[in-house]
């Protein structure tokens, strides 16, 4: 009680001033319509600004959860889309697979079964001769060596090393990685990194009689063991003829922005190992 009295005595003038101010505002609001409306309007504006700033802060800290939700939803949609593209329809009664249409002579054969897993990039290099990306998914999440990695805009790389909770991705920005690719019209080749810029890739082994225009898109093709077909790799920015080889060197603007890579999809193909074993057995003969 004694301290309270000392507090009142010490700040009496300030407390009196605040009390009179409050009384003045109340009187203005009640007795003078014009100033009262201005006062209420100002108070509402101030309160609205405070609520907006509060909402902005809550929204900012909720972005990560929102991103994770959108990535998971996109992974499901990509899975559904690939189911359509990874089925061949055959009119052959000797193929004993599941019949999915009313016409009993139509059967389907699955040649790929892709599973998408979302992951966050926690480290990324773009200036080495062989660049690697670290993601926050590992063997505990079903990640294994060789799985393809893409972003929301295109090809990223391939899983190279796996621990329990993390994985290292060999980026397409590496001399060690060649991606089987195709141009519009079905022309095939390989995409590599020319080691000059993290934005520029190069497509090789394309015959020099192929018609190519600046802006044409390059996608993964059906021959890749791990990458799904029709994933965008880049767009043509320049071509150069290699006269001795009779081929073109096609320079591409990478569809993936490696400078600001934050989230990726890791793609597993449950039928890839079977295909690889078959092809390896043929090569040994």
Judge whether 198 and 258 are in contact, CB under 8 Å: yes
Strand partners, 132: 170
Whether the per-residue pLDDT at 210 is higher than 90: the answer is no
Instruction: Give the count of beta carbons closer than 10 Å to the beta carbon of residue 266.
Output: 25
Whether the per-residue pLDDT at 86 is higher than 80: the answer is no
User: Percent of the chain beyond pLDDT 90?
Assistant: 32
- Average confidence score pLDDT of the chain: 76
Nearest to 230 by CA among 77, 85, 75: 85
User: How do the domains of the chain map onto residue ranges?
Assistant: 14-61, 115-285
Whether the per-residue pLDDT at 241 is higher than 90: the answer is no
Average pLDDT (100-107) is 41
Determine the pLDDT at residue 24.
65
How does pLDDT run across 2-61, given as a tens digit for each residue? 666 766 667 777 777 777 777 766 655 555 555 555 555 555 555 556 655 665 665 555
The top-scoring range by mean pLDDT among 51-55, 93-97, 196-200 is 196-200
| Residue bearing the bigger pLDDT, 18 or 128 | 128
Strand partners, 84: none
How does pLDDT run across 163-176, given as a tens digit for each residue? 999 999 999 999 89
Determine the pLDDT at residue 205.
86
Instruction: Name the maximum alpha-carbon separation found in the chain.
Output: 102
Whether the per-residue pLDDT at 177 is higher than 70: the answer is yes
Determine the pLDDT at residue 96.
35
Alpha helices in 197-285 (DSSP H): 272-284
What CATH code is assigned to 115-285?
A: 2.40.10.340
The top-scoring range by mean pLDDT among 66-75, 102-111, 164-173 is 164-173
Judge whether 182 and 219 are in contact, CB under 8 Å: yes
> Angle of helix 33-61 relative to helix 12-31, nearest 10 degrees?
110
């Amino acid at each position: 009680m004694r301290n309270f009295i000392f507090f009142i005595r010490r700040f009496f003038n300030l407390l009196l001033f605040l009390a009179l101010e409050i009384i003045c505002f109340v009187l203005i609001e009640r007795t003078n319509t014009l100033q009262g409306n201005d006062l209420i309007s100002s108070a509402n504006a101030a309160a609205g600004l405070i609520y907006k700033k509060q909402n902005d802060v809550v929204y900012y800290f909720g972005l990560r959860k929102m991103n994770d939700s959108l990535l998971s939803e996109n992974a499901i949609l990509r899975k559904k889309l690939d189911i359509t593209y990874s089925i061949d329809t055959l009119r052959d009664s000797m193929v004993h697979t599941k019949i999915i249409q009313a016409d009993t002579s139509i059967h389907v054969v699955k040649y790929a079964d892709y599973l998408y897993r979302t992951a966050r990039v926690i480290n990324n290099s773009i200036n080495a001769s062989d660049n690697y990306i670290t993601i926050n998914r590992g063997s505990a999440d079903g990640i294994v060596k060789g799985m393809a990695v893409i972003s929301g805009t295109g090809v990223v790389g391939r899983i190279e090393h796996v621990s329990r909770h993390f994985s290292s991705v060999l980026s397409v920005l590496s001399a060690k990685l060649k991606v089987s690719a195709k141009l519009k019209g079905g022309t095939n080749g390989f995409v590599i990194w020319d080691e000059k810029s993290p934005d520029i890739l190069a497509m090789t082994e394309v015959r020099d009689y192929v018609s190519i225009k600046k802006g044409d898109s390059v996608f993964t093709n059906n021959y890749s063991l791990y990458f799904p077909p029709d994933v965008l790799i880049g767009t043509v920015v320049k071509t150069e003829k290699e006269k001795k080889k009779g081929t073109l060197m096609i320079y591409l603007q990478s569809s993936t922005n490696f400078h600001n890579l934050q989230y990726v999809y890791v793609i597993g193909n449950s039928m890839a190992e079977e295909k690889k074993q078959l092809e390896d057995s043929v090569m040994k003969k």
